[in-house]
Amino acid sequence: MNLVLQNVWWALVLIGVMILIHELGHYWAARFFDVKVETFSFGFGPRLFGFKKGETDFRIAAIFFGGYVKMAGEQPGDETANDPRGFLAKPRWQRLIIAFAGPAMNIVLAVAIITGLFMVRFPKVPSVPSPMVGYVVADSAAAKAGIKEGDRIVQIEDTANPTWDDIAMKEMASAGHPLSVWIQRGNERKHVTVTPVLEPKTGVGVAGWGEENKVEVASAPADKPAAKGGLEQGDILTSVNGQPIYSTQKILDAIAQSGGKMLQISYLRNGHTGTASITPVMSNGDGGPDRWVIGAFLSPRFELVSLSFPQAVVESVRYNAKSATLIYQFLRGIVERRMSPKSLEGPIGIARLSGAAARQGPSAYLDLTAMVSLNLAIFNLLPIPILDGGVILLLLVEMFMRRDLSLKVKETVFKLGFVFLMAVLYNDISKLAG
């Protein structure tokens, strides 16, 4: 229960920031064009408390997951529909900017957060062209295709010299669809076909391979087996029971299959090699199933990035542009039925991710905040009724037709939008229920 409360708390903080920034975009744009703003609400439903400043009621409402800015004359049937300062009284191009301002602020927030993180040595996993395969799951799609540890992926589909991000995106968006893959094995170049399988819980394609990377001990509490056996934070793990380690999953599998028997783990520390004898213990500390652990947090060795402000801005824009492309490919995969809608995260999923990120530290939480902000911007720009993208689409249609759509058509469109949002929430609940 304590874990659930933590998740809810950190989700409220994260979503609260998203709502505030998003609605401030609409509010500032509306005020810039002299549109009367009647209500600025944090949340939906009954008003709990707030204050009135000028002509605007700033309020906190009962249902926190959301918010809105209520402008005068926003709907044709409103009492203030004929107000010269009403939303509908303004030119369509001004209304379009007001609708776009909310998502635009979320994009600005994402860029600002990542800029700040890059300026304070934000850790990121280096991704190099034509990555090496460091791990292959037994009986997986990759294994059946003949992929082996140490193979270098030089092309996947039409993408030559791919990064691991490129490979992961192709994999996730291609459940049940064969992927043409070229690998380099020593001096030999081979062509194989990998067909990812749909992972029911997440709704994405899985090939069963992993990138080669150095495995680092991110933390090793003194009272746990890893530290007692001689491992320290910053150690680079090189082998377990004589088997080379090329990925975190490799050693996690060795621990899981140990049966509690002692493991001989070799490591590299400050240029010197050493060996630690560690006996795994059984643990279910996170409420999950019982499993063997050594009491250390293992992660790929991070490349620390420290940039000046101008460089950080450039890299942040590039990073967010790449993320936006991945989001678009996710959505395209869902539309083309190559991915399941279960790959989408709604409010419940965001709550779970928020709590986990907060427990990892400020950098992880801020990184998640930037990701959610960018996702919210793109999601809101989709041409779906009730979202900002739906409003923008209707305005573009009216600008093309040079006349307003009928009230009946608009009401039908917004009802469809409400059904869509309920479907997203149902998808979220169904994932939680397994």
- pLDDT, position 417: 56
8-state DSSP, 284: -
Assign 156 a pLDDT band (cuts: 50, 70, 90).
very high
Residues 6+ apart with CB under 8 A from 408: none
Strand partners, 385: none
For residue 159, is pLDDT > 80? Answer: yes
* Nearest CA among 135, 139, 141 for reference residue 197: 141
- pLDDT, position 77: 63
197-243: per-residue pLDDT in tens? 887 766 678 888 988 888 888 888 888 888 888 898 888 999 999 88
- pLDDT, position 358: 66
How many residues comprise the chain? 434
How many Å from the N-terminal Cα to the C-terminal Cα in the chain?
19
For residue 100, is pLDDT > 90? Answer: yes
Assign 129 a pLDDT band (cuts: 50, 70, 90).
low
CB 73, CB 81: distance < 8 Å: yes
- Which tokens sit at 168? 């992961």
Share of the chain above pLDDT 90, in %: 17
Average pLDDT, integer, range 156-168: 86
- pLDDT, position 220: 84
For residue 108, is pLDDT > 90? Answer: yes
Among the listed ranges 194-198, 228-232, 349-353, which one has the minimum average pLDDT value? 349-353
Tell me the DSSP string of 66-117: EEEEEETT-STTSTTTT-TTSGGGS-HHHHHHHHHHHHHHHHHHHHHHHHHH
Assign 352 a pLDDT band (cuts: 50, 70, 90).
low
- pLDDT, position 25: 93
Q: What is the CA radius of gyration of the chain?
A: 26
Q: What stretch of H or E contains 210?
A: strand 209-211
Average pLDDT, integer, range 113-124: 81
Annotated catalytic residue within 23, 171, 216, 315? 23
- pLDDT, position 81: 64
- Does 213 or 340 have the greater pLDDT score? 213
Residues 6+ apart with CB under 8 A from 114: 122, 312, 315, 316, 319, 320, 367, 370
- pLDDT, position 323: 82
8-state DSSP, 259: T
The whole-model pTM stands at 0.68
For residue 106, is pLDDT > 90? Answer: yes
CB 133, CB 210: distance < 8 Å: yes
d(C-alpha 35, C-alpha 47), whole Å? 23
- Which tokens sit at 235? 């150690």
Looking at residue 61, its amino acid is A
Q: What is the largest CA-CA distance in the chain?
A: 80
Tell me the DSSP string of 137-177: -TTSHHHHTT--TT-EEEEETTEES--HHHHHHHHHT-TTS
Chain mean position to CA 101: 22
d(C-alpha 9, C-alpha 6), whole Å? 5
For 49-80, b where at least 16 C-beta lie within 10 A, e where not — what string? ebeeeeebbebebeebbbbbbebbbbeeebeb
- pLDDT, position 333: 67
Average pLDDT, integer, range 80-108: 88
For residue 339, is pLDDT > 70? Answer: no
| Helices within 286-308 (DSSP H only) | none
CB 46, CB 62: distance < 8 Å: yes
For residue 412, is pLDDT > 70? Answer: no
- Which tokens sit at 149? 């540890």
Average pLDDT, integer, range 261-283: 89
How many Cα atoms sit within 13 Å of 262 on the Cβ side? 7
For residue 320, is pLDDT > 60? Answer: yes
For residue 432, is pLDDT > 60? Answer: no
What burial class does residue 359 get, using C-beta atoms within 10 Å of its C-beta: 0-12 exposed, 13-18 middle, 19+ buried?
middle
89-99: per-residue pLDDT in tens? 889 899 999 99
Is 23 an annotated catalytic residue? yes
Among the listed ranges 4-13, 59-68, 310-319, which one has the minimum average pLDDT value? 4-13
| Helices within 336-432 (DSSP H only) | 347-360, 362-380, 388-401, 407-432
Q: What is the mean pLDDT of the chain?
A: 80
- pLDDT, position 424: 55
Average pLDDT, integer, range 262-276: 90
